[in-house]
Structure 1
Amino acid sequence: MAWHYNPVVSWDQKVEKYLSQALGHSEFTRITHALSRPSLKQSVRVNTLRSKVEDVASKLNSSISLTSPASSLHVHPQIPYILTLNGAGPRNVDYSPCNGREVVVNRMAGEAILRGAQVYCPGLLAASGGLAAGDLVGVSVALELPGSRWCGIPRGMVLDGEGKKRQKQQRSCHEDNGVGGQGRRPGLGAEVELPDRTHLFLGMGRCVQGRRAMFRNQNGLAVEMVDRVYDVPSLNGILPGEIIAQALPSILAAQVLAPLPGSRVLDMCAAPGGKTTMMAQLMQDRGEVIALDRTHAKVTEIRAYAASLGLTSIMAIKADATRAVKGWQSKDKTLSENPSDKPRQFGTPEEEMSSMNEDGGEAFEGFEPESFDHIMLDPPCSALGLRPRLSHTWTLDQLYRMADYQKALIHAAVALLKPGGTLVYSTCTINPAENEGNVKYILQRWGGRQSRSCEEEAALACKMKLIPAEPVLGGPGLSIAECASMNSQDMPWLTPYDADLVQRCDPSDRDGHDTIGFFIAKFKKEIL
């Protein structure tokens, strides 16, 4: 069979059933297909504190015309400081010049290539024998086998020829395969049954070094892509300080919060700093933006990012946002503790959940209740809306427990928000439990009952009012009317009225924006 790109992405069976029921089978099928492809509309935020949009557009047009001639550039019709780069695909790639020569990359490298990256040495798994600099090769991606984190291809394997499924392992297999690495690997000289990859080819590239150097070097460019199935322009290193490549819904979330100059703003889970810097830009760099993260490395990254954009209103602090309220000495065990066998944000479920158990901000005393005008809460999430994503390993139990962890952050956010202040809650997942479910939780928990808040919440009873998340680019949230077939006790859906107030950005391009999957809700705090 000819090399092509048509991946079959698998889900945990219970998760697939759950999402299929919640979203509808046809919609879930469309979303699954879209998640395995990159967005062809790349958003670029102009740093308007330094540059004019028209000047940046002219310079950017000149830059991308050299690297991606098929791309086109437009000013976004609703958000005028956003430039949209249109890529192309899927495209038919002629692999005949490769003469059967091939390199295989791990999944994470493959996803990066779909976003416009080149092939770097750390992402390589296997390659045809005798490759030399200048050789043209087909570039394929290896996916983890069902129920495993092992892709079935040992790192360093010599591919003996196009289409062969059984091959001798010719190099040591003790190196990590770069996909997480669990599972049994064949020994030296063992016969290996290779997974079919004829439908997993990303394009054609030219080797910049020989085969031996590719696997010997720990870093550096291995293969330069010359023809791609999806031609998405890479913005790496282009116009530093003037543009920020950022997903459109992420930009939208900050725009929905719309903090004014002079405001005091909290970004509770700030890394890598896109929304943090966006809010500072909206405030004309006047006021105070507090950015929290649990790790020193990410806090350092946020500070460097802000400095590179010339922003001075941002203060990044290492802290656990669930303990951000002064006087909260211990976590609510039912809301904020998570087992260690859960996932890293935007990675595997195991890595994401374990990262939430890291201790952080030991010397941080917290903020006074009701001390922020605006709060951005974009919590750690299952990231099921990110694309391209070629593997989905979350279990249903992990998805529900992630939503519970987010509730601990919601409690802190409500306590820290001033009366009259606004809160934006956003995620990059399609999971209703983390989206509509948590909005419903807020409306039920702070729905206006005449009761005092508990000891670890704001001093006064309050109401969190759901208000329109504007400007509107996405569709409505999931409502009771749409999801009547599911158990409402397990998943509290929104009323049709409330569903119209939130935004669910659809990765299946139903709304025409071709974005990642994203969810945005906005609340205003009122005193009873």
Structure 2
Amino acid sequence: MSIFPKISLRLEVENYLKAGFMNKEVVSALGKEEAERKFETLLQKLSHPPSFTTVRVNTHLASVQHVKSLLFDELQKVRAHFCHYQFNGLSFPILQHPDLQDVLLIPVIGPRNNIKQQPCEVIVGAQCGNAVLRGAHVYVPGIMSASKFMKGGDVVSVYSDIKGKCKKGAKEFDGTKIFLGNGISELSRKEIFSRLPELKGVGVRMTDPVYLSPSFDNVLPSYLFLQNLPSAVVSHVLDPQPGEKILDLCAAPGGKTTHIAALMHDQGEVIALDKISNKVEKIKQNALLLGLNSIRTFCFDGTKALKLDMVKDTDGEPPFLPESFDRILLDAPCSGMGQRPNMACTWTLKEVTSYQPLQRKLFTVAAELLKPGGVLVYSTCTVTLAENEEQVAWALKTFPHLQLQRQDPQVGGEGMLGAGLSSEQLKRLQRFDPCVVPSQDSDTGSLRDARIEDMIWLANKDCIGFFIAKFVKCKST
């Protein structure tokens, strides 16, 4: 059995998800038992991190091989840091993805069941806990509770309060908590809670985590961008070309924006919109750090990005005239039900289902802003049928001038049954569902013996839940 439970959801939300994954078309194709098994596997997988950490090389500044060599040296330092763990001759191997040449993969080892829990405890919030499972140390703002007599230098066990019940500054916590591993406290309990909110640095340095994954804090920051595998696929599917004018309609924090600019060799114009100002600043910081000059950012609501009065566009700022862009990426706001690890989601059904209307508003704007012959890519980081395949079916019906296209590279699986799309249409979609991978504990032995082909297959399958659709706007006759 796994040391983590399946993701904790409100019953109404779990039933909603289950209805999508066990709709009539799916049950008819797979059988009820197999459909139910896949759904239960999904719930288990969502609470665990993906099997690989994915980093994208900024090819605008350096070659992949050069960065791979630099990263190898950095990971040897990380390996030495985990002094309590016996590697049995293993290091962190670095794989270059065969279909995504600018993507490097580093296996995650775990979950490990033989870590001795310590009497001195630190409780962290759920978001902090999720970050620790993906290789991060514990930063002070994420600490909710610490044992009464904890001192700097103590070996402590770190737990995640997945239901958000722990009070800030508590000396003990008896609620639901999930063990994340052991670390060394950088500060005493008194230093942590008497100097908040000023303290921002590392509070616990993880030395023996349940999931052994390298931290990428300040590792080759101009050369590497930490990015989930499907998120890197999206920009390749968009296939931006030098000299084009491209719109990233919901761009923050800028991972895909900067990837687009790098793929077009920083030649052309990438317009990045987001309606939250501090997120726009993050896009600017990332562009500056990665040395990209073709990106223009605007704090602007994407649903209002279409100019309705048809006055000539003279300033190049939003809103824009119809048919202004060669390619558009709509990485839409979504319920995020594919994010991993996520051990608990407290959202109501109303919140989960609130995104479909917003996605349709944004899609309508994108369809108008796209030039004839242009490419529109729609993506989400969720697994719901309503935000993915149902949106494609709606788009094809609403916008007859849009045609669903095959995708290259095709790394994920085909779309899910249940939205009335044809078999050929489903093959033109990419759905990343971790439920295709059997839910089981992993260990270093399987990593040692695995072939590269098997590891790439696992990286493609055991990632976050994600969805991609690609459309082309027909030229007028």
- TMscore range, shorter length: 0.7 to 0.9
Alignment of 1:42-191 (within 5 A): 42-68=53-79, 70-95=91-116, 98=118, 100-144=119-163, 151-159=164-172
8 Å Cα contact 2:273/2:302 also seen in 1? yes
> Distance between the aligned counterparts of 2:229 and 2:409, measured in 1?
12
Q: Secondary structure of 1:68's partner?
A: helix
301-310 or 509-518, which deviates more: 509-518
Q: Secondary structure at the match of 1:438?
A: helix
Aligned with residue 505 of structure 1, among 416, 423, 432: 432
Output one character per residue of 1:156-202: Cα deviation in whole Å (capped at 9) or x when no partner.
2223xxxxx8xxxxxxxxxxxxxxxxxxxxxxxxxxxx3243xx100
Instruction: Give the match for residue 465 of structure 1.
Output: 403
CA distance in 2, matches of 1:324, 1:37: 38
Q: Secondary structure at the residue paired with 2:385? A: coil
Partner of 2:423: 496
Separation of aligned partners in 1, 2:350 and 2:127: 24
Q: Over the residues paired in the alignment, what is the CA RMSD in angstroms?
A: 1.9
Judge conservation of contact 1:399–1:433 (CA < 8 Å) in 2.
no
2:253 maps to a residue whose letter is P
Say if 1:7 and 1:440 are closer, same or farther in 2 by CA, change over 3 A: same
List per-residue Cα deviations over 1:83-122 (Å, max 9, x = no partner): 11112001124325x2x22111111111111111111221
Tell me whether 1:383 sits opposite 2:364 in the alignment: no
Any idea what SS the aligned residue of 1:79 has? coil
In the other structure, the counterpart of 1:182 is: none
Q: Distance in 1 between matches of 2:205 and 2:114?
A: 15
Cα contact 1:267–1:289 (8 A) shared by 2:
yes
Question: Residues 234-261 of structure 1, C-alpha deviation per residue, up to 9 Å, x if partnerless?
Answer: 1110112111111111110010010111
Q: Please state if 1:396 is matched with 2:396.
A: no
Q: Tell me by how many angstroms 1:328 deviates.
A: 6.6
Matched-pair contact (CA < 8 Å) for 2:38–2:436: no
Asked if 1:259 corresponds to 2:240, the answer is: yes
Shift of 1:319: 1.1
CA distance in 2, matches of 1:365, 1:253: 24
Residue aligned with 1:157, SS: coil
Which of 261, 273, 277 is the equivalent residue of 1:292? 273
Q: How far apart are 1:364 and its partner, in Å?
A: 6.0
- Inter-partner Cα distance in structure 1 for 2:413 and 2:382: 14
1:8, distance to aligned residue in structure 2 (A): 4.2
Could you tell me which amino acid in structure 2 is paired with residue 253 of structure 1? V
Q: CA deviation at 1:21?
A: 2.8
For residue 413 of structure 2, give the secondary structure of its aligned residue in structure 1: coil
Q: Distance in 1 between matches of 2:45 and 2:52?
A: 13
Q: TM-score, normalised by structure 2?
A: 0.85
- Shift in alpha-carbon separation, 1:239–1:509, aligned structure 2, 3 A: farther
CA contact (8 A) 1:5 1:229 kept: no
Q: C-alpha offsets along residues 272-322 of structure 1, whole Å, 9 cap, x if unaligned?
A: 111111111111111111111112222222122111111111111111111
Q: Which has the higher helix share?
A: 2
- Contact 2:306 2:369 (C-alpha < 8 Å) held by counterparts: yes
Distance between the aligned counterparts of 1:400 and 1:130, measured in 2?
46
Question: Contact between 1:68 and 1:231, CA under 8 Å: does it hold in 2?
Answer: no
- Please tell me whether residue 313 in structure 1 is matched to residue 251 in structure 2: no
Residue type of the alignment partner of 1:252 = V
Query: How many angstroms does 1:13 deviate by?
Result: 1.9
Q: Aligned partner of 1:153: which letter?
A: C
- Name the SS of the counterpart of 1:524 in structure 2: strand
Q: Secondary structure at the match of 1:125?
A: strand
Q: Distance in 1 between matches of 2:171 and 2:285?
A: 42
Task: Decide which of 184, 188, 191 is 1:213's aligned counterpart.
Answer: 191
Which of 465, 471, 475 is matched with 1:517 structurally? 465
Give the C-alpha shift of residue 365 in structure 1.
5.0
Give the percent of matched residue pairs that are identical in Structure 1 and Structure 2.
39
SS of the aligned residue for 2:345 comes to coil
Distance 1:6 1:267, change over 3 A: same
Give the whole-Å Cα distance in 1 for the aligned partners of 2:318 and 2:309.
Answer: 9
Deviations 1:56-99 (A, max 9, x none): 11110110121136422111111112111112001124325x2x
| Alignment match, 1:350 | none
Structure 1, unaligned runs of 5 or more: 145-150, 160-164, 166-193, 330-362, 448-462, 484-491
Question: Aligned runs of 1:361-510 on 2, under 5 Å?
Answer: 365-447=318-400, 463-479=401-417, 483=418, 492-508=419-435, 510=437
Paired residue type of 1:469: Q
How far apart, in 2, do the equivalents of 1:140 and 1:154 lie? 14
Match of 2:313 in 1: none
**Secondary structure of 2:308's match?**
coil
The correspondence of residues 14-25 of structure 1 with structure 2, limited to 5 A, is: 14-23=12-21, 24-25=35-36
Of structures 1 and 2, the one scoring higher in RCO (CA 8 A, sep 6+) is 2
| Contact 2:396 2:403 (C-alpha < 8 Å) held by counterparts | yes
SS in 1 for 2:353: helix
Quote the Cα distance in structure 2 between the aligned partners of 1:68 and 1:92: 19
Residues of 2 paired with 1:80 and 1:215: CA distance? 46
1:195 to 165, 175, 181: 175
Q: Spell out, residue by residue over 1:203-260, the C-alpha distance to the aligned partner (whole angstroms, 9 max, x if none).
A: 0111122121122233222211110110111111011211111111111001001011
- CA 294–252 in structure 1, closer or farther in 2 if over 3 Å, else same: same
Paired residues, what number?
A: 423
Match of 1:6 in 2: 4
- C-alpha separation in 2, matches of 1:365 and 1:112: 35
Partner amino acid, structure 2, of 1:56: V
| 1:405-441 deviation per Cα after TM superposition (whole angstroms, max 9, x unaligned) | 1000000000000000010000000011110111011
Distance 2:189 2:108 in 1: 31
Hey, what's the Cα distance between the residues in 2 that align with 1:515 and 1:308?
27
Separation of aligned partners in 1, 2:364 and 2:15: 30
Residue pair 1:42, 1:84 contacting (<8 A) in 2 also = yes
Contact conserved, 1:42 with 1:85, CA < 8 A, in 2? yes
The structure 1 segments of at least 4 consecutive aligned residues displaced by more than 6 Å after TM superposition are none
Decide whether the 8 Å contact of 1:509 with 1:515 is kept in 2: no
| Deviations 1:384-410 (CA, angstroms, capped at 9, x unpaired) | 111111222333333333111100000
| Mean Cα deviation higher: 408-417 or 120-129 | 120-129
1:359 match: none
AA of the residue aligned to 2:377 = V
TM-score normalised by the chain length of structure 1: 0.77
